[in-house]
Chains A and B, each alone.
Chain A
């Protein structure tokens, strides 16, 4: 356990939570929570495309909200850092694709092993080495490429919902400039809600329902492990943690518990596998929202992550209800709010990719590949962005790698 970083403590967390609560981190937390719930459309889409039973998709998503949310309460509260927990989106796509091939139990067995690998990696303290192998500009190139989509999605509504989109975006900019007390995000949301109230929304599709996660016993097969478990383990250790840690570090936090994030994510993934859920890990877009300057003072941004976790847990049983509510809202609303919340994060990710003068080419390729949404062998763009980015950087920018440069300078090493 010596590699696990020590946090502050959970004892005073509730009191400190109330002390640190402010408008900025509450609004960022709400946006992150909303964003996390609305990300479930990816699960629903991937599951439906893979021909999974709607009932199964429902308990899958509910497990993700419940379990991710619980760990999302603990991690930020213990470390007092904006570390919201969610699940791996590339992992979700793989999971949905593998179920028809090997069955739910075997897929979850592979998840369990992937979680165990991640737990061991965190406990053994290898994250320092992993992070050195994957240099920051390349990680940030990948993160920037992934997040870029949310920036582009913010612009798209200008075409088909110009008036509300323009109102929300202008409200954001104007309040950023002229209103001192109110977070621009809240102003943008209020402007959007005001417009919707004026234009009227159809709530007839909203239906109330309550569902809970279901217990299941995983089984183990080699096929499921090779096709899904191993890639998932690589994604968790080699991509999700570096992306999350990179983002938080990029926002100016010095000490980020990379090993603990990996270990806790692994442990949580093992638990997840008993409840029809493929993984629990740090989530890049939500981390971006919670750790961004939009979430207020740096030492209080952890509150945003806790709120996002609380929204997950509270929303889980009523997921059916919540999602029908989100579906009733025009799609531009969440798209614009998420895009605005991520604007600074995208900017700083691009800055860290391109302005350092190191790993420029690897970073650029990682950025382009991640943004292209390319999918090879069922694995998503973010993974290939890292692999190819590092590969290209090793070819063209060998001397930018710290450990290679050091090895070259120390002949004895």
Chain B
């Protein structure tokens, strides 16, 4: 292991926090889906096993292969779809739809269609969309102050102190302080957490038109627009030239296997990717790939103890996770706003993208990230694109 010297505490911490944030946040929606499907605890454990395993295998493989922090996860907007479909949809049909979706995404990825699409989106608009998504997490950190002032303010103070004194270990120290405060102040109890190994349960796929139209196709749409689009934009903003083709191919092939155990489509992570691709993970961009591997390894651990994960995150207070996620993303928020705002020739379209995405708009079942890009591109075409003559409207007078 010649490369072992690349390993660093901040990178590993970033990987860990990324896993923590996605278990604490998006996993809750998956639980909700499991509840509406009324599945047994063993089946739910299998689901968590499958999504974690998918994220672990594809994440480690891609990070090592591309030597970039590729963070993968399960399709969070996809799980939101599930909530509304169960229990009318049977588990077997759902698995069939997962497989169909994985195949379609694979086809889109391998032909390079997605890469071309990504390149067509102006830089400021991609950054504006990312800033809009991350922005809500930044707000969440401060909004938590009203409900749980001591925990939230304590973590905020800890963040400021650590950031000033030991910026390299800020995140891990913040994590420990926050967990200490959560247990001490909010009575978070870890008693119910048991550590048995999880075992996957096989589900036979069943193909149906109903499941294809109501789950597979929307799943492809929301995964591409809600995960791959912002996830690839994050990678691009952070300066990694990884092609979507290789990443999409690997994740969708992984999905084909994990689907059989109830794991919804594996995709590129968006929010948590920002934690691992930023400066907080490592000063040197070439060594941040370690964060991607660490992220995968922690997913692997999570996968083995899927049952314990389920119990653990039921025990942690929501404010702890909200503040942790918000503060871990501070750097990513300002970097993306800066990129959006510095796009001189399409600044207003970028801000419009930011506003639409941050508003959390949801239309026709598609999320704000998608509409942010669509409306931003419309504004770009209307306000900034050169057709013939340039109108003065585009120029924003700014004081020095």
Contact = CB atoms under 8 A, between A and B. Distances in A.
A151 interface: yes
Contact of A372 (B143, B160, B337, B378): B143
Interface residues of B, number: 41
Interface string B75-88: 00000000000000
Contact of A158 (B146, B348, B363): B363
Contact of A374 (B146, B337, B347): B146
B389 to A, nearest CB: 10
Given A158-B363, A177-B383, A396-B164, A293 B396 contact: yes
B334 A355 contact: no
Contacts of A252: 397-399
Contacts of B330: 364
- Chain A contact surface mostly: helix
Interface stretch (B27-35, B203-211, B304-312, B349-357): B349-357
A376 B148 CA distance: 12
Interface in A359-401: 360-361, 364, 368-369, 371-376, 392, 395-396
B355 A159 contact: no
B338 A354 contact: yes
Interface stretch (A12-20, A342-350, A404-412): A342-350
Given A343-B352, A348-B396, 6 more contacts: A250-B398, A251-B399, A354-B334, A355-B342, A368-B139, A368-B142
Interface string B366-400: 00000100000011001100000001010011110
Contacts of B361: 155-156, 158-159
A182 B334 CA distance: 36
A195 interface: no
B391 to A, nearest CB: 6
Given A355-B342, A364-B334, A176 B383 contact: yes
B183 interface: no
B87 to A, nearest CB: 28
Nearest to A363: B334
A143 B330 CA distance: 19
Interface of A: 148, 151-152, 154-156, 158-159, 162, 173-174, 176-177, 180, 184, 249-253, 293, 298, 343-344, 346-348, 350-352, 354-355, 360-361, 364, 368-369, 371-376, 392, 395-396
Interface in B311-361: 330, 333-334, 337-338, 341-342, 347-348, 351-352, 355-356, 358-359, 361
Contacts of B341: 347, 350-351, 354-355
Contacts of B160: 392, 395
Contact of A350 (B145, B146, B351): B351
User: What 4 pairs across the A-B complex have the smallest Cβ distances?
Assistant: A372-B142, A155-B359, A173-B382, A151-B355
Most buried by A among B351, B382, B399: B399
Contacts of B351: 151, 343, 346-347, 350
A34 to B, nearest CB: 21
B359 A293 contact: no
Interface of B: 135, 138-139, 141-143, 145-146, 149, 160, 163-164, 330, 333-334, 337-338, 341-342, 347-348, 351-352, 355-356, 358-359, 361-363, 371, 378-379, 382-383, 391, 393, 396-399
Contacts of B347: 347, 351
B122 to A, nearest CB: 16
Contact of B396 (A180, A347, A374): A347
Nearest to A156: B359
Contacts of A155: 355-356, 359, 361
A80 to B, nearest CB: 18
A399 B378 CA distance: 42
Nearest to A364: B334
A154 to B, nearest CB: 7
Nearest to A184: B393
Contact of B355 (A152, A176, A251, A293): A152
A360 B334 contact: yes
A400 to B, nearest CB: 15
B324 to A, nearest CB: 15
Contact of B382 (A151, A154, A177, A355): A177
B155 to A, nearest CB: 14
A112 B332 CA distance: 45
Contacts of B348: 343-344, 347
B382 to A, nearest CB: 4
B142 A374 contact: yes
B387 to A, nearest CB: 9
Nearest to A369: B142
A173 B163 contact: no
Given A154-B355, A156-B359, A351-B347, A344 B382 contact: no
Contact of B398 (A298, A348, A374): A348
B332 to A, nearest CB: 11
Contacts of B358: 148, 152
Given A158-B361, A158-B363, A176-B391, A251 B142 contact: no
Nearest to A381: B142
A374 B359 CA distance: 17
A213 B236 CA distance: 59
A300 to B, nearest CB: 14
B337 A354 contact: yes
16 contacts: A158-B363, A173-B378, A250-B399, A252-B398, A293-B396, A347-B396, A348-B398, A351-B341, A355-B338, A355-B341, A364-B334, A372-B139, A372-B143, A374-B146, A392-B160, A396-B163
A252 B379 CA distance: 25
A243 B129 CA distance: 27
A360 B378 CA distance: 30
B233 to A, nearest CB: 18
Contacts of A159: 361-363
A403 B279 CA distance: 30
A176 B333 CA distance: 30
B383 A173 contact: yes
Contacts of A249: 399
Interface core residue of A298, A347, A395, A396 (most chain B CB under 10 Å): A347
B145 A376 contact: yes
Nearest to A246: B399
A250 B391 CA distance: 22
A343 B398 CA distance: 14
B171 to A, nearest CB: 16
Contacts of A352: 398-399
A170 to B, nearest CB: 8
Contacts of B359: 152, 155-156
A351 B361 CA distance: 24
A395 B164 contact: yes
